[in-house]
Amino acid sequence: YGEWLSNNRIFLEDLPELVKATDEKIIDIKKQQNTFGYTLEDLRMILEPMALNGYEPTGSMGNDVPLAFLSDHNPILFNYFKQLFAQVSNPPLDAIREELVTSLRGTIGEEKNLFSETPEHCRQITLRHPIITDLDLARIKSSSQKNLTAKTISTLFDPSGTSGFKDSLSRINKEASEAIKEGHSILILSDRGVDETHAPLPSLLATSAVHHHLIRKGERSKAGIVVETGEAREVAHFAALIGYGAAAINPYLAFATIRNQISLKEFETNIAADKAIHNYLSASHKGILKIMSKMGISTIQSYRGAQIFEAVGLNQSIIDEYFTWTPSRIGGIGIEEIGKEYISRHSFGFGTKRNSANLEVSQGGQYQWRRDGEYHMWNPNTIASLQHAVRENSWDSYEQFADFVDQETRLLSTIRGLLDFKKPNNPISINEVEPAEKIVRRFATGAISLGSISREAHETMAIAMNRIQARSNTGEGGEDHSRYTSDPNGDSRNSAIKQVASGRFGVTINYLTSAKDIQIKMAQGSKPGEGGQLPGHKVDEYIGGVRNSTPGVELISPPPHHDIYSIEDLAQLIHDLKNANPEARIHVKLVAEAGVGTIAAGVSKGHGDVVLISGDTGGTGASPESSIKHAGLPWELGVAETQQVLVMNDLRGRIVVQADGQIKTGRDVAIACLLGAEEFGLATGPLIALGCIMLRKCHLNTCSVGIATQDPELREKFAGKPEHVINYFFFIAEQLRKIMADLGIKKMDDMVGRTDLLDKRNLIEHWKTEGVDFSQLLHMPDVPEGVARHKIIDQDHSLEKALDNELIKDATVSIDTGKPITITKDIDNSYRTVGTTLSHMIAKKYGEDGLPEDTISLDFSGSGGQSFAAFLSKGVSIDLKGDSNDYFCKGLSGGKVMIRPHEKSTFTPEENIIIGNVALYGATGGQVFIRGIAGERFAVRNSGAEAVVEGVGDHGCEYMTRGTVVVLGPTGRNFAAGMSGGEAYVFDEEGNFESLCNKGLVSLEEVSEEKDLKHLRRLIELHKNHTGSKNAERILSDWNSMISKFVKVMPEDYKRVLAEREAQQEKKTVSANG
């Protein structure tokens, strides 16, 4: 095989450049930009950051513009497609910290019969990346290699009528088949040559049309597709083209635009054109890799043609012919309307009255509100009217706000705007409707983390929601435990919902014990398939302390929960958290996409108490712009699907369904309820009520109203009050009560899932809504009368079977008095989450302090099950003679655990795995001593625990932020990936550790400083004493020679912070001494 490859495989860069690359200077570039839908926002907010920084840009506050099929601004076809992503059933990949398992390398050319083996199978051009330069394209066009010649097919059409649009699609399909018959194995679909009489087909439509045409003809494997286009310019566009069959993309107008901007000195920083193009390519490739990773796909070859998208607003005819097998659930526009939009844009660029002298690129308005730009649901009218309403407690102003929102939503923005209520002939008096005081208890604020917003804003929302017995949400940034004690005036700043996200920031047993609800964040509406993001300039000493992370270092949570790779794993985490707080409801937060109903059914079967369906428009403190705009689906689709699947499977009665994502008014709540939700989350609205003016720069730490900033001076400008949030929620409840009265409904429970009271609005003014079909959305499953349509019973978590019930009974006196006790028991792996409920009882009584060390000692013999010693509290020590499954010491919260093989075991401990994968995930404190080897991802996200182990698998100490890990043996690959705090010591006896360590954020040092030597020796001695480790004994007996074999793994940022603190301490000492 190796010989076949070396003789036949050809790398793109090795091809000769026989044809001159197309001239980079495009005539009438502004006309081209307008024709292809470029705006000033594309130039300044997308291309410029990519070209200057090599990363796709970050934005904030979510997406509040109309869906593409409701926009009057002629959106390009890419905007009709939404990226799908992995949640629960398989994990997304961590493309940042685990890049070594990903690849953008692809091939182009004829793919031979999969069931035979010949040298010709290797006869392909290898591309290192899918985005190619003009020079790369020239090489492909010039290829004269045997069986590797290219044919260029024009994707232009005559814009004088819409028939030319569809006829051109037929033409390019025919030309593609003819090119293959002529022996060409590379098809170049090109829209170069746009002028007054030639308009471009949508590049995505042309690509997918050819892709599916060749599939139907049985010719797809005979040729690869290259797209030469002026339309695609950002990572979401590239991903869509690849997803629908493209092997390579040449975004020639993007390259020309970057060069043009540089020549005009439009960029804020001087940069050479070649460097800018290099950065742009780098940003594009990173972005494509991230989008693939959202779905858990690691190679570009697997992503190509996979169609991991859902269309919103395209009718079935166009789907069946050109985007076969793509979900599109509500119908919408067809080929004629798409043609009309593209002809209109071409006319904007090349109309008879247009010339380069007076032509300007459109302002845009997708990302920022512009007076003549795209409509935004949050605009000066809605913001001003809401803020006046809540500050003056004015119902009239709220009605004005609701009218702005509801009327504009109906005409311009959302799926719910196209729905109307079927009002029966028997309305009731509003006095018969459930009171507002009960309705507001169904409301929650969105998961806005401390760090994303200021302490003042975060605490004000908590106070407001606690006053009305509703629920505020911590977000994923943890919470200061001082807030768990009520204020002197009776107010509580304790957030009722504690979120557990993949980063596990601040997740301790005390944090969980202080919750009424615990929310597992599987995905976030603004960036599903990605981890939470907090820029480094917002991580000050206080935020770093709450999160157990390094100040000044950006925090990007892992895309997956490393303890959830399947629905069974999710059920395990639900079980863990229920054991950590038996009184709390356990939520699972999902994001709407095709198939979310099936996932929600799994959540119900896995004993989740609440499933939250988030829409794609949710707010965010920091997310990639491409994710904000192009990932996830509206909550209307997700809630409807979830309700239908749960009811059809008789699972609805045991779980609450919650919805969130740009819910603003009582009308929004009513529609969410009628589609199937009984609880409702709002995030942006409450922030507006507190003073947010939608500057959309939360990620920059420059919020001028003191909400989304950690800057002390700006925080002083915060003027929000709990009353503002309370007034807002009561206004929503009162508007909802009016709607309920009109519908003849007394209680909200009776309203859940009543889609028979909804219908598509008549007399819809928008020209693109005629083909919309809501039959799937409004379907009510036909089930027997006894099948519940809302939550009526509690989940059975089977907590009575837990071993902790016995432990708590045996340790009651010790918990109450602090008197030491030792409990001895045999154990097997049918007992899961051992020690967790015991720790909950301790935290409930003693809070963050726990009990004194070794107050409760548990001696076990046997096999520990999943999540053994999870969230173990201070004061509890466990000595296990045996072995343990995955998630050992997950979330360790100050406890101490020792594990060693049973005395009767015959294997050598330091050569054998004794615990499973993902040990110490999110641990915040405590000590662990393991006489044996651990599986993969040992101490992932360790935030404060000390651990000694005799070997680890791949990805050890991944994304660790605090604590100390000592490895007295071999490690796997990718050690210390993303490690920004804490320290690790590795016994590198074989001398190969450097090749196994990810040195992106860390340096490798000798262990030479006295404090390091003492610290390391102390931990190894404790390990020997607690486990009887022969390995530790061997090292200690020859300490002076063995110490040279240790490598200290030290994060560079952590080292900087420690040096700064030391310097500050020296200053204080000098000052104190006069």
Q: 2-350, superfamily in CATH?
A: Aldolase class I (3.20.20.70)
C-alpha span between 587 and 446 (Å, rounded): 13
Tell me which amino acid residue 836 is: T
Please report the sign of the dihedral spanned by the C-alpha atoms of residue 472, residue 474, residue 476, residue 477. positive
Q: Is 365 helix (H, G, I), strand (E, B) or coil?
A: coil
Q: What is the pLDDT of residue 410?
A: 59
Write down the pLDDT at residue 114.
85
Residue numbers of the chain with a pLDDT score lower than 70 = 18-27, 162, 352-359, 408-412, 763-765, 1074
pLDDT at 24: 47
For the chain, give every residue range classified as CATH 2.160.20.60.
Answer: 800-1063
What is the structure's pLDDT at 584?
Answer: 98
User: CA 293, CA 91: separation in Å to the nearest integer?
Assistant: 9
> Would you state the structure tokens that stand for residue 479, as one six-digit string?
């919470």
Give Cα 596 distance to the centre of its chain. 15
> For residue 371, with 0-12 CB atoms within 10 Å meaning exposed, 13-18 middle and 19 or more buried, which class applies?
exposed
Write out the residue limits of the CATH 3.20.20.70 domain(s) in the chain: 2-350, 428-760
Displacement of CA 78 from its chain's centroid (Å)? 21
Q: What are the tokens at 736?
A: 């909802």
Domain 800-1063 fold: Pectate Lyase C-like (2.160.20)
Residues 6+ away with beta carbon under 8 Å from 824: 858, 859, 860
Work out the angle at residue 628's Cα, subtended by the Cα atoms of residues 625 and 629, and round it to the nearest 5 degrees.
Answer: 90
Confidence (pLDDT) at 112: 87
Q: Is the dihedral of CA 1046, 1051, 1054, 1058 positive or negative?
A: positive
Alpha carbons 1041 and 13: distance in angstroms, whole number? 50
What kind of architecture, by CATH, is found in domain 428-760?
A: Alpha-Beta Barrel (3.20)
Work out whether strand 943-949 and strand 983-987 pair parallel, antiparallel, or are unpaired. unpaired
Q: What is the pLDDT of residue 411?
A: 62
Please enumerate in sequence order all residues whose Cβ is within 8 A of that of 961, keeping only pairs 6 or more positions apart, or say none.
547, 548, 549, 550, 941, 942, 943, 979, 980, 981, 982
